[in-house]
Amino acid sequence: MLDVQLKTTGPQTVAYVSKHGPYAQIPEAMGQLYAWVAQHGLQPAGMPAGVYLEDPQTADANDARWEVRTPVVGDPPETEEPGDLGVKHLEPHLVASVMYRGVYENIAPTYGELGEWVANHGYEVIGPPEELYYSDPETTKPEDYLTEIRFPVAPH
């Protein structure tokens, strides 16, 4: 049984990099994002995230659209630079959230269960899913990775 939490996110300023292609590029994209953040004098301020702009279960893995983000301190202006890097402001929104522990390759059933919970509790998904990464892959065993899965939702 999932321990689903409904919560409203706060407003947030994030640095991001948008990508098109296999999800295996996520570690490289994170490196690119954090290098860009440092180069622009920004300071990370929270958990990094992956946002899946297409359904990972149905999108062609080689043609998927996604982005990685990190919250940043302060209120830098919105920008978009070559390479699909930039800063944007996110509005507060309601999410259905669940924590997942384990390897990323086994996360798909949790997505299905969260989707069922949303439908069975009078909500609908209104945007792309987001994963917040609480573990450092360099210091954590894959079976101990802790990931928060969030679906933006609204009541039916």
Q: Would you give the DSSP letter of residue 56? A: T
3-state secondary structure of 127: coil
What would the pLDDT profile of 55-75 be if each residue is shown by its tens digit? 766 777 788 899 999 999 998
**10 Å Cβ neighbour count for 156?**
9
Q: Under 8 Å CB-to-CB from 78, ≥6 apart: which residues?
A: 86, 87, 88, 89
Res 81 pLDDT > 90? no
CATH number, domain containing residue 98? 3.20.80.10
In angstroms, rounded to a whole number, what is the distance separating the alpha carbons of residues 122 and 44?
Answer: 35
Domain count, the chain: 1
Average pLDDT over residues 149-153: 98
Average pLDDT over residues 101-109: 94
What secondary structure, in 3-state letters, does 61-122 show?
A: HHHCEEEEEEEECCCCCCEEECCCEEEEEECCCEEEEEEEECCHHHCHHHHHHHHHHHHHCC
The residue with greater pLDDT, 152 or 2, is 152
- Domain containing 57: what range? 5-155
Average pLDDT over residues 77-92: 92
